[in-house]
Chains A and B, each alone.
Chain A
Amino acid sequence: MATVTRRLDDISPKEPVIAPGQTYGSITDLVNDVVDQTERPPRFWLAVFGIGSLLLMLLLNAVGYLLIRGPGIWGINIPVAWGFAIINFVWWVGIGHAGTLISAILLLLRQEWRTSINRFAEAMTLFALMCAGMFPLLHVGRPWVVFFMFPIPSTTGMWPQFRSPLMWDVFAINSYMLVSAVFWYVGLLPDLATLRDRAWRRWNDAPPPERKLADRIRQIAYGMAAIGWRGSARHWHRYEMTYLLLAGLATPLVVSVHTIVSFDFAVSVLPGWHATVFPPYFVAGAIYCGFAMVLVLMIPIRKVYRLEGLVTMNHIENMAKVMLVAGLIVFYGYLMELFFAWYSGNTYERFMMQNRLTGPYWPAYWALILCNVLIPQLLWLKRVRTNLVVLFIVAIFVNIGMWLERYVIVVVSLHRDFLPTSWGAYHGTFWDWALYLGTFGLFLVNMALFLRFLPMINVFEMKHLLHSKMPQPAKGEESR
């Protein structure tokens, strides 16, 4: 028995949530200098914007050709009538969920490490939802009559099928999108006002010939976006209340959206889809993939923009831990699917699982196990969680694995159902891939614009956090 009592810090030291040496001023400058565009954008930004624009053009082509020719250009047919469109939809929606989890749920759980990554993650949510929303919209074949999905029987007398979870999806995704956007915007207000004031000061301080029109435009644009934020106590009071309420509203929404997405499959009777474990397992899968995406984006961005002092190893490690936990829940889902396919005693259930493991699409299943179950077990090691390169690679594997998971669920379950005479095969065509890669273009371009024009880190919340970390006056000196 050791005679000296060891302290926790000696054995397992914790990284700070803000690096030492940061001040109110340094936080403001670090984040806002990017937006003020005092220097040329880094090469990294140009590369992201360039590649994104190219892919965006691919998207426009894919959509244009689709609208001319119809969904027949995709690989879908009976029996696999749902293909890439649904897979990509579920994948992008899942990515979006991490943003809401970080900004709303971690806020309600009072996790202070969320502060420097929430703005960024919420932006990711919005852009991912934009990409996700395109797929069902295009999959209906005639996007211009998509309003049939809304319950407005004014001219046709037709109602949508309220018993269908696809119908619930319309409501779930739309309300989620709305609340996410409002939540993000409300959180931006104080920072927009800061940008407005900085632009005004630059314009006002400069002698007349050197005054730049850009600063004036920026002042007006940010000023309009900030809708009159003055930072008064009343503003702050109302802001805090609104923000908390929106967080409370967003939390059930994030769960409901992916639950309903899982119902899209689970309420049918198809083996491989009809499983009661689907709702929680889909929600966990969404969080898993979303956190992986945040890491994939955050690791290079914090390096390029020198944000290591604000997004510290503490954040990175915590995200890795959340990813590990979500991954284990997903693994639990796989185990339950395997066990209950056998335990059901049902011929079709058992065949479905056998077909997944050894049928024509076996590489997809085993690749998914490799990416989602085996490789992420590395995250148990602190060395891996704090090694940016390895973590980046693991996160990419998780993103691929989660896409494969949806591929297995959609395609492998559909291609061989009850009647062997109606079995078939499915492969994505060029246009399937073009549309999928194209949405990356939409996502990257949006992300690049966001990095350039809006503060990617919540400045005033970081200052608040910094304040709470300052040395406190001795007890009794202060009343509060």
Chain B
Amino acid sequence: MTMDEPTIDGVTPDIRMRFSGWSRGAAITGIVGLVAAVAAALVFGKAALVQSYLFAYLFWLGISLGCLSAMLLHQLVAGGWGYMIQRVAEAATRVLPFLALAFAPILLAYRDLYPWADPNYLIAHPVVAEKTAYLNTSFFVLRAVIYFAIFIGLAAILNHWSRKLDLTGDAIYIVRLRRLGAIGLIFYVLAMTFASVDWGMSLEPEQFSSIYGAWFIVGQGLLAIAFCTIIVSRLYRSAPYVGGFGCTEDEQLCQMIPGCHGAPGCARPKYVEYFHHLGNLLLGFVVLWAYISFSQYLIIWSGNLPEEIPYYINRTHGGYQALTVVLILFHFVVPFAVLLIRRSKRSIPPLVTLCGFMLLMRAVDLFWIIIPAFRPGLLLGHLLIGACLLVGLGGIWMALFFRELTKRPLLPVGDERMRALQGHHDPAGTDTALPTEATEHA
């Protein structure tokens, strides 16, 4: 075995330096953002602050939870793309305890967010009064506790076994992680579905749509893939990647030969392959998002029922129609067209630019989902405070994320499936019976 011994500290000092620099910068940016948001709230009021906070919160929660679900899936399918981003995504899931704490402002100010918390509203809306068995304060809080227990619990087990695998290389942890992947995904999907009803759909308590949970889940997956691709693009030229998935020698040259299957003595730069896979995943999520968004729209539009249709009326009037067009064009049409092109997935700069763009579009989409619920008409105060909070909350999140990222080797060194991928040949070759005699003519 040519592999180095698995070590606890796999991050080289120069990367550690870089990360702590980024972490500090993010923390400072975050604090500036939060202060700016509070200052703006003095002008626009407390309600605007809380409502925008929900939007920014769901964005960053989406990255962590998207990374959680991507890693649960990865443990089931074990593709090369998953190993590229595994440590990045795992670090993002370890920020979940902070996000649980950051949920506190929403609990404290839920009356500014959720109309069902107001008894007068219930009297005026008998349909909503029918739902109080579900939409009531104590059950709302209890459910939030359950959701975070599930999310943090899954992340903790995932990270624990992944760590054990690093240290021991014992395949029993691969089997355990695989089981966790299957069962964890079920828990995640159910928890996230009901969480999206609680935190998003019940902002407009009359509205209901049974695809809503899947809409959020797909959005989170999209966020996670875009985010992880960006972070990995800053790392793939440094220590564990080069020699692992990277090319030992003339890296630049290899990258220019797309069909190269590895010349003698050359470890093919597999990361190009895996960036390509990440790009395909991104394409898949973009299409899935459009599929769900369009299906929901078409069904509600054609039904035109009084409980449902206000949702889309709010989002196609009062300035939001511009955002709607932006979403159709830039959350679907343009990325779809770009990602169909093979070159844009195999060359890292355009792919990373697109990923950054998709993060922005996810923010626009979440803004479009959350904010019109509060009052008709585009709210400039919310836009401003929302942007500040997105940066503010994001800064703190990133600071914690980079701190977590330095704690473990950047590639899961103990996983034999990854080592098989790093080798020249397909891992399937090792566990597939080889033909004994294959000399006959075709």
B209-220 Cβ-contact flags toward A at 8 Å (1 or 0): 111111000000
Q: Does B121 contact A (CB under 8 A)?
A: no
Task: Assess whether A16 is in contact with B438, with CB atoms less than 8 Å apart.
Answer: no
Task: Assess whether A279 is in contact with B291, with CB atoms less than 8 Å apart.
Answer: yes
Task: Assess whether B442 is in contact with A8, with CB atoms less than 8 Å apart.
Answer: no
Q: Give B386-442 interface residues, CB cut-off 8 Å to A.
A: 416-417, 424-426, 428-442
**Given A8-B416, A343-B131, are A274 and B438 also a contact pair (CB < 8 Å)?**
no
Q: Does A153 contact B (CB under 8 A)?
A: no
Majority secondary structure, A binding face? loop
- CB of B284 to closest CB in A, whole Å: 10
Q: Which residue of B lies closest to A8 (CB)?
A: B171
**Given A267-B298, A267-B303, are A6 and B434 also a contact pair (CB < 8 Å)?**
no
- CB of B200 to closest CB in A, whole Å: 13
Q: Give A2-36 interface residues, CB cut-off 8 Å to B.
A: 2, 5-14, 16-26, 28
Residues of A contacting B124 in the complex (Cβ-Cβ under 8 angstroms)? none
Task: Assess whether A337 is in contact with B417, with CB atoms less than 8 Å apart.
Answer: no
**Given A343-B197, A346-B127, are A337 and B437 also a contact pair (CB < 8 Å)?**
no
Q: Give B56-101 interface residues, CB cut-off 8 Å to A.
A: none
The stretch of A92-100, A364-372, A393-401, A465-473 that contacts the partner chain: A465-473
**Given A7-B416, A280-B211, are A1 and B303 also a contact pair (CB < 8 Å)?**
no
**Given A25-B440, A276-B295, A466-B438, are A11 and B171 also a contact pair (CB < 8 Å)?**
yes
B259-271 Cβ-contact flags toward A at 8 Å (1 or 0): 0010111000000
Task: Assess whether B303 is in contact with A274, with CB atoms less than 8 Å apart.
Answer: yes
Binding site for B on A (CB under 8 A): 1-2, 5-14, 16-26, 28, 112, 163, 255, 259, 263, 266-269, 274-280, 328, 332, 335-337, 339-340, 343-346, 463, 466, 468-472, 475-476, 479-480
In the complex, which of the residues A10, A18, A259, A463 contacts B433, with contact meaning CB atoms closer than 8 Å? A18
Residues of B contacting A343 in the complex (Cβ-Cβ under 8 angstroms)? 131, 134, 197, 208
Q: Which residue of A lies closest to B305 (CB)?
A: A269
Q: Give B127-182 interface residues, CB cut-off 8 Å to A.
A: 127-128, 130-131, 134, 168-172, 174-175
Task: Assess whether A328 is in contact with B193, with CB atoms less than 8 Å apart.
Answer: no
Residues of A contacting B299 in the complex (Cβ-Cβ under 8 angstroms)? 263, 266-267, 274-276, 278
Complex Cα gap A343–B131 (Å) = 6
In the complex, which of the residues A19, A28, A339 contacts B442, with contact meaning CB atoms closer than 8 Å? A28
Complex Cα gap A259–B261 (Å) = 40
**Given A11-B172, A277-B210, are A24 and B438 also a contact pair (CB < 8 Å)?**
yes
Task: Assess whether A20 is in contact with B435, with CB atoms less than 8 Å apart.
Answer: yes
Q: Does B302 contact A (CB under 8 A)?
A: yes
Task: Assess whether A2 is in contact with B303, with CB atoms less than 8 Å apart.
Answer: no
Q: Which residue of A lies closest to B134 (CB)?
A: A343
Complex Cα gap A171–B261 (Å) = 42
Residues of B contacting A277 in the complex (Cβ-Cβ under 8 angstroms)? 210-211, 214
Q: Does B300 contact A (CB under 8 A)?
A: yes
Residues of A contacting B213 in the complex (Cβ-Cβ under 8 angstroms)? 336
Q: Could you list 21 examples of A-B contacts with CB < 8 Å?
A: A1-B168, A5-B169, A14-B431, A20-B434, A20-B435, A24-B441, A25-B441, A25-B442, A259-B295, A263-B299, A269-B304, A275-B299, A276-B211, A276-B296, A278-B295, A279-B291, A280-B292, A340-B210, A345-B208, A345-B307, A470-B435
Task: Assess whether B429 is in contact with A469, with CB atoms less than 8 Å apart.
Answer: yes
Which 10 residue pairs across A and B have the least CB separation, nearest first? Answer: A277-B210, A345-B130, A20-B433, A25-B440, A276-B211, A267-B302, A16-B433, A336-B210, A8-B171, A345-B127
Residues of B contacting A335 in the complex (Cβ-Cβ under 8 angstroms)? 190
Task: Assess whether B263 is in contact with A463, with CB atoms less than 8 Å apart.
Answer: no
Complex Cα gap A476–B262 (Å) = 10
Task: Assess whether A332 is in contact with B189, with CB atoms less than 8 Å apart.
Answer: yes
**Given A267-B302, A479-B264, are A346 and B307 also a contact pair (CB < 8 Å)?**
yes
Q: Which residue of A lies closest to B265 (CB)?
A: A476
Q: Which residue of A lies closest to B164 (CB)?
A: A1
Q: Which residue of A lies closest to B261 (CB)?
A: A480
Complex Cα gap A8–B298 (Å) = 48
In the complex, which of the residues A9, A266, A337, A345 contacts B431, with contact meaning CB atoms closer than 8 Å? A9
Complex Cα gap A267–B442 (Å) = 54
Complex Cα gap A336–B291 (Å) = 18
Complex Cα gap A476–B265 (Å) = 6
Q: Which residue of A lies closest to B206 (CB)?
A: A345
Residues of B contacting A279 in the complex (Cβ-Cβ under 8 angstroms)? 211, 291-292, 295
Residues of A contacting B416 in the complex (Cβ-Cβ under 8 angstroms)? 7-8
Q: Does B329 contact A (CB under 8 A)?
A: no
Task: Assess whether A328 is in contact with B186, with CB atoms less than 8 Å apart.
Answer: yes
Residue picked from A9, A344, A468, A470, most chain B C-beta under 10 Å:
A344
Q: Which residue of B lies closest to A9 (CB)?
A: B431
Complex Cα gap A352–B352 (Å) = 49
Q: Which residue of A lies closest to B437 (CB)?
A: A23
Complex Cα gap A192–B305 (Å) = 56
Residues of A contacting B264 in the complex (Cβ-Cβ under 8 angstroms)? 475-476, 479
Residues of B contacting A26 in the complex (Cβ-Cβ under 8 angstroms)? 440
Task: Assess whether A23 is in contact with B127, with CB atoms less than 8 Å apart.
Answer: no
Complex Cα gap A471–B212 (Å) = 50
Task: Assess whether A22 is in contact with B435, with CB atoms less than 8 Å apart.
Answer: yes
Residues of B contacting A22 in the complex (Cβ-Cβ under 8 angstroms)? 435
Residues of B contacting A328 in the complex (Cβ-Cβ under 8 angstroms)? 186
**Given A5-B169, A8-B171, A328-B186, are A112 and B428 also a contact pair (CB < 8 Å)?**
yes
Q: Give B250-293 interface residues, CB cut-off 8 Å to A.
A: 261, 263-265, 291-292
**Given A13-B431, A16-B433, A328-B186, are A463 and B442 also a contact pair (CB < 8 Å)?**
yes
**Given A11-B172, A28-B442, A337-B210, are A466 and B435 also a contact pair (CB < 8 Å)?**
yes
Task: Assess whether B436 is in contact with A21, with CB atoms less than 8 Å apart.
Answer: yes
Complex Cα gap A416–B1 (Å) = 69
Complex Cα gap A160–B436 (Å) = 62
Residues of B contacting A475 in the complex (Cβ-Cβ under 8 angstroms)? 264-265, 424
Q: Which residue of A lies closest to B186 (CB)?
A: A328
Residue picked from A8, A259, A277, A278, most chain B C-beta under 10 Å:
A8
**Given A279-B291, A279-B295, are A16 and B303 also a contact pair (CB < 8 Å)?**
no
Complex Cα gap A17–B261 (Å) = 24
Residue picked from A269, A345, A475, A479, most chain B C-beta under 10 Å:
A345
Task: Assess whether B431 is in contact with A6, with CB atoms less than 8 Å apart.
Answer: no
Residues of A contacting B434 in the complex (Cβ-Cβ under 8 angstroms)? 20, 469-471
Residues of B contacting A479 in the complex (Cβ-Cβ under 8 angstroms)? 263-264
Task: Assess whether A336 is in contact with B193, with CB atoms less than 8 Å apart.
Answer: yes
Complex Cα gap A31–B14 (Å) = 59
**Given A17-B432, A336-B193, A475-B424, are A11 and B175 also a contact pair (CB < 8 Å)?**
yes
Task: Assess whether B432 is in contact with A18, with CB atoms less than 8 Å apart.
Answer: yes
Task: Assess whether A21 is in contact with B435, with CB atoms less than 8 Å apart.
Answer: yes
B199-231 Cβ-contact flags toward A at 8 Å (1 or 0): 000000010111111100000000000000000
A-B contact sample (15 more), CB < 8 A, given A14-B432, A337-B210: A1-B168, A5-B170, A5-B171, A18-B432, A20-B434, A20-B436, A163-B302, A259-B295, A267-B298, A267-B299, A280-B292, A346-B307, A463-B442, A470-B435, A479-B263
Complex Cα gap A267–B261 (Å) = 50
Complex Cα gap A269–B301 (Å) = 11
In the complex, which of the residues A7, A8, A276 contacts B209, with contact meaning CB atoms closer than 8 Å? A276
Complex Cα gap A18–B436 (Å) = 12
Complex Cα gap A98–B189 (Å) = 24
Complex Cα gap A269–B306 (Å) = 11
Residues of A contacting B214 in the complex (Cβ-Cβ under 8 angstroms)? 277, 280
Residues of B contacting A16 in the complex (Cβ-Cβ under 8 angstroms)? 431-433
Task: Assess whether B210 is in contact with A275, with CB atoms less than 8 Å apart.
Answer: yes
Complex Cα gap A1–B169 (Å) = 11
- CB of A373 to closest CB in B, whole Å: 13
- CB of A275 to closest CB in B, whole Å: 5
- CB of B414 to closest CB in A, whole Å: 9
Task: Assess whether A340 is in contact with B208, with CB atoms less than 8 Å apart.
Answer: yes
Residues of A contacting B134 in the complex (Cβ-Cβ under 8 angstroms)? 343
- CB of B185 to closest CB in A, whole Å: 9
Residues of B contacting A255 in the complex (Cβ-Cβ under 8 angstroms)? 291
Residues of B contacting A471 in the complex (Cβ-Cβ under 8 angstroms)? 434
